Chains A and B, each alone.
Chain A
């Protein structure tokens, strides 16, 4: 009967998706009513203040890249998380009257970065300091964009290079370009295959999910903080399931594994 209605091997995913959505909505509601959720300090993020401060002292610009992912891909979440960090960086540069150069690869991300930066300058009470010419679309070709970023970093002698979003093979090119320009570098991505390069070549690095938590941590916006809280509950559930599963597997009692193999593949 169940097989006629559902694709049964995805039943657990279906239930989990509905459950996560409901819990998220309830938590957001609580957060909007004023309930405070705690997010621990994320070390790499505090380096952003240091990086912008250094650029201000040196009188040189800050470069920000929101990654190279499109908004219609699975990795769009990373771009959106990067844009949340961009909002914070733009507020700092507006506050300290430091130039901010934002380079984009995806055309559809350009209007969003423009809006994020403009809103941040407005929020700091300095709309006249916002320079739309510093929000650049370079190329939608991956390595043309990388070459353009390297050139800008070298010519403008950026003092801080902040890269937050989804990066692929150009990650090390960016990081080396920033290093040659003598900038302090803060990077973050959830693309695990590129994290080693950022960790090796940058001064500070946000690893994986820290990027998603970054937006919530910086803004303390109830909806984002509630999202992090729900993700943490998800991790707790995962840890408990793994513990139960491994113990039952060790005891050669395969009921739970069989259930998940059948309904969560």
Chain B
């Protein structure tokens, strides 16, 4: 059984890699297998999630206290299916609105806390010069970079004059950061490729 699994894994890997040449029936087969299996697994986990998180605490609590409020997500979940009704389609907007509301509320906390305030306090605690011993201007560069990036994303004025200079600084700083990030991630992807080649040559063909 394990050998069969290795063969299926290896053939699917080669089928997906074959896309590099062109779209072909092997890739198409792997693609549809992948999507089909993901759908099957999704249904299984979805069912399990409903049973474990909502159905059992509500209807089969065992020794635990019955969680009556679980009726709310269950009803909201059922309401999502009203989109298939011609006249009751609008009802499905209620649970959707609930989800969007929760998402927005989570985003507000994350954005104001982590992205806004923490960035400000971290930058304002830097002195204008002299943090690292070799490069006295490194903190000045950091501060200029942050201010330039803020100016780049200022949309209420045309980028002219001083704003254009600031935005250019911001753009350069971002591109340098993106370049470093690109290099890091490419290295990580290479290690994934190496892992896959090792799987093909080692576990499948046993020549490594």
Q: Which chain B residue lies CB-closest to A150?
A: B19
Interfacial residues of chain B within 173-189, with CB under 8 A of chain A in the complex: 174-175, 177-179, 181-182, 185, 189
Total contacts A to B, CB within 8 angstroms? 183
Binary CB contact string for chain B from 86 to 114 against chain A (1 if under 8 A, 0 otherwise): 00000010001001101110111011110
Q: For the complex formed, measure the closest distance between the CB of B169 and the CB atoms of chain A, giving whole angstroms.
A: 13
Given A111-B83, A238-B150, A148 and B35 contact (CB-CB distance below 8 Å): yes
Interface flag for B136 (CB, 8 Å): no
Binary CB contact string for chain A from 104 to 146 against chain B (1 if under 8 A, 0 otherwise): 0000100110000000000000000000000000111101110
Q: For the complex formed, measure the closest distance between the CB of A192 and the CB atoms of chain B, giving whole angstroms.
A: 7
Interfacial residues of chain A within 137-171, with CB under 8 A of chain B in the complex: 138-141, 143-145, 147-148, 150-151, 154-155
In contact, B23 and A193 (Cβ under 8 angstroms): no
Selected interface stretch from A58-66, A84-92, A239-247:
A239-247
Interface flag for B146 (CB, 8 Å): yes
Given A20-B112, A111-B83, A241 and B120 contact (CB-CB distance below 8 Å): yes
Task: Tell me if A's interface is mostly helix, strand, loop or mixed.
Answer: helix
Interface flag for B143 (CB, 8 Å): yes
Selected interface stretch from B2-10, B36-44, B58-66, B195-203:
B36-44
A71, B113: Cα distance in complex, Å: 20
Selected interface stretch from A47-55, A94-102, A249-257:
A249-257
Interface flag for A73 (CB, 8 Å): yes
In contact, A139 and B39 (Cβ under 8 angstroms): yes
Given A40-B156, A238-B150, A249-B124, A199 and B35 contact (CB-CB distance below 8 Å): no
Tell which of B124, B153, B158, B181 touches A260, judged by Cβ atoms closer than 8 Å.
B124
Chain A residues with CB under 8 A of B107:
74-77
Chain B residues with CB under 8 A of A192:
177-178, 181
- Going nearest first, the 5 A-B pairs with the smallest beta carbon separation are A245-B124, A76-B103, A141-B38, A154-B23, A196-B182
A: which residues have CB within 8 A of B? 10, 12-13, 16-17, 20, 37-42, 70-77, 80, 108, 111-112, 138-141, 143-145, 147-148, 150-151, 154-155, 172, 180, 192-193, 195-197, 199-200, 207-210, 213, 217, 228-229, 231-232, 234-236, 238-239, 241-247, 249-250, 256-257, 260-261, 264-265
